[in-house]
Amino acid sequence: MRGLPDYYQHTNSRTVDHLWGIDLGGTKIELAVLKDGVSGEVILRRRIATEAEGGHAHILSRIKSIVDIVAKELGEQPQRIGMGTPGTIDRITGLMKNSNTVCLNKTPFLKDVQKILGIPVNMANDANCFVLAEARFGAAARKFPDAPVVFGVILGTGVGGGVVVNGEIIHGRHGIGGEWGHNFLDEAGGKCYCGKVGCVERMISGPALQRYYTSITGEQRSLQEIVARHQGGDDDAATQTIKRLTSYFGQAISVVVNILDPDVVVIGGGVGNIEELYTEGVVAVQPWIFNDRCDTHFVRPELGDSAGVIGAALLTQ
């Protein structure tokens, strides 16, 4: 990792029995302590509310609170912590960017966390933490242990992703490695919060699918209801919505396949639970890739909502 700034560095100069990780979300902060980096066994896991409405300083105090709680319960102090965040640290400015917890944007968040905890912190985007965990201990590791390139998809309220090659996160020059959700897909998606038009996120995220269903029916339904009505075979609009998802998913992920050619794609997030993604969605990839067949493995994650915090802990290795 030579030449990368401090927040991308790993250290091998010390021996630590336990690995500490924090998954910082918009509504909750989760901390987990792993027995080691070999088994991935979680020995303690706790959550508290983020209370993001309190702002940047309050979030820092909440992070300090959960570390203190776990340290007291476990009877040990962490020497280093890994943290997954809803955004990324700009490697040039050192400031947080692209976070949907907007009060963190344009702040020296990494430095602030290290100051309040008084220890080194390894920080990465939460999607990167997700794919790191699945590549090391989850679906990719168990089913395809020799796969060198794993792409992790977050398909839910938003659309994100991360890349792991030979067990290491590919952060990229801008810290946005794997962020396929803000590639252009179709102008029909309209303007995205990122400032661009027609992003993948605006077409196949959960809210985007619900908006589409409403646009053709005038009815507001949850994505779970839409999927159930499609599978029940009695709602043409629901079927149209799911077919739109699988078609655009194939087109969107084909860009990733053409550029990275991953061995495995792990699909996380609420939308990733839709069965048709693994059948019709995979078929829809084929017409768009630069090959006469698609051999990429598309799999469900196996670590559930623990993936992010496990991946965060692995950042400390």
- The C-alpha atoms of residue 242 and residue 212 are separated, in whole angstroms, by 10
Q: Which domains does the chain have, with CATH numbers?
A: 6-124 (3.30.420.40), 139-301 (3.30.420.40)
State residue 12's pLDDT score. 37
State residue 2's pLDDT score. 33
The residues pairing with 105 across neighbouring beta strands, listed in sequence order, are none
- Residue-wise DSSP of 30-59: EEEEES-TTT--EEEEEEEE--GGG-HHHH
Are 303 and 256 contacting, i.e. CB atoms less than 8 angstroms apart? no
State residue 1's pLDDT score. 32
Local confidence pLDDT in tens for the 317 residues of the chain: 333 334 333 333 344 479 999 999 988 999 999 999 999 999 999 999 999 999 999 999 999 999 999 999 999 999 999 999 988 999 899 999 988 899 999 999 999 999 999 999 999 999 999 999 999 999 999 999 999 999 999 999 899 999 999 999 999 999 999 999 999 999 999 999 889 999 999 999 999 999 999 999 999 999 999 999 999 999 999 999 999 999 999 999 999 999 999 999 999 999 999 999 999 999 999 999 999 999 999 999 999 888 999 999 999 99
Are 103 and 59 contacting, i.e. CB atoms less than 8 angstroms apart? yes
Are 107 and 90 contacting, i.e. CB atoms less than 8 angstroms apart? no
State residue 128's pLDDT score. 96
Q: How many CA atoms lie within 13 A of 195 on its CB side?
A: 1
